[in-house]
Amino acid sequence: MKRTDFQQFYVLPENIRADTFSLFGEEFRHAIKVLRKKKGDGLAAIDGRGQLYHGIIECIKRDSVQVSITKIDKDVGEPRIKLTIAQAVPKGQHFDLVVEKGTEIGVAAFQPILAERCLIDPSSRVERWQHKALAAAKQCGRSRCPVVHAPCEFTTIMQDNAFDIALIAHERIEPAAREIFKNVRNHTNIVVFIGPEGGFTEKEVQHAVKMGAFPISLGIRRLRSETAAIIAATKILGALGELGDT
């Protein structure tokens, strides 16, 4: 019986049984055609919902591979808090970077938002971003795949306010506002709002603050939108001790 590799695959929940799971399609081809796995080899797969299945290849068919489950781990690589990046999507493919690196850092969800200075409609890209989140989750050793939500108006999200605490990045906030990061330690469901390339308007910031959001500073230099998202996630997760010892 060979040792299970670190390489993780993705198994659809409907393809999991009590003691076996099966891979099809792209996951099957990568395991068998690319990595040349054989009967008796170890294989690990996540269901994207927090379960990591370890097993041994039992049977290889023309279009699928069946794996006998030997061990199940839960919430491997997952932070104890849920952090959502709510961002006005920048032009080009910059949000791809936010999704990929945010997933690696430990972000739980991505919410594309429509703000006053948005230059693009991100509606057609959600499936693409979800695929990238899954690929990044497999690569970095997480057992949950972050959710990429459908785009939503900035004011609508603020009105719904389904979070324990909301933060909004704004370049004209005094650096002393970084003390706000210490306040996230008592919360488990956090959202950070990142503006478009031109930033949030004063009206939007004032509305967010009125609805209970805390303005935060990300430093003394002006950051690109995608950089701001990654820095904000790093600061929040770091303040919560989710990035290891410093």
Are the C-beta atoms of residues 144 and 119 closer than 8 Å to each other? Answer: no
pLDDT (0 to 100) of residue 139: 94
pLDDT (0 to 100) of residue 15: 98
Q: What is the pLDDT of residues 116-151, one digit of tens each?
A: 888 777 888 999 999 999 999 999 999 999 999 999
Q: Residue written as tokens 């294989």?
A: 43
pLDDT (0 to 100) of residue 245: 63
pLDDT over threshold 70, residue 183: no
The overall average pLDDT reported for the chain is 89
* 103 or 208, greater pLDDT: 103
With cut-offs at 50, 70 and 90, classify the pLDDT of residue 2.
Answer: very low
Q: Which of 22-26, 170-174, 210-214 has the lowest mean pLDDT?
A: 170-174
| CATH architecture of the domain formed by 82-239 | 3-Layer(aba) Sandwich (3.40)
Query: Which residue from 221, 15, 192, 9 is spatially nearest to 111, judged by alpha carbons?
Result: 192
Query: Which residue from 50, 49, 48, 46 is spatially nearest to 21, judged by alpha carbons?
Result: 46
Domain boundaries 8-74, corresponding CATH code: 2.40.240.20
Q: What is the pLDDT of residues 59-76, one digit of tens each?
A: 999 999 999 999 999 999
| Comma-separated ranges of CATH 3.40.1280.10 domains in the chain | 82-239
9-36 residues labelled b (16+ CB within 10 A) or e (exposed): bbbeeebbeeeebbbeeebbeebbeeee
pLDDT (0 to 100) of residue 124: 87
Alpha-carbon Rg for the chain in angstroms: 20
pLDDT (0 to 100) of residue 180: 66
Query: Which residue from 106, 115, 107, 129 is spatially nearest to 87, judged by alpha carbons?
Result: 115
pLDDT over threshold 60, residue 49: yes
Q: Report, as an integer, the average pLDDT of 100-115.
A: 96
| Comma-separated ranges of CATH 2.40.240.20 domains in the chain | 8-74
Are the C-beta atoms of residues 183 and 77 closer than 8 Å to each other? Answer: no
With cut-offs at 50, 70 and 90, classify the pLDDT of residue 43.
Answer: very high
Are the C-beta atoms of residues 121 and 115 closer than 8 Å to each other? Answer: no
pLDDT (0 to 100) of residue 173: 59
Q: Report, as an integer, the average pLDDT of 230-243.
A: 90
With cut-offs at 50, 70 and 90, classify the pLDDT of residue 17.
Answer: very high
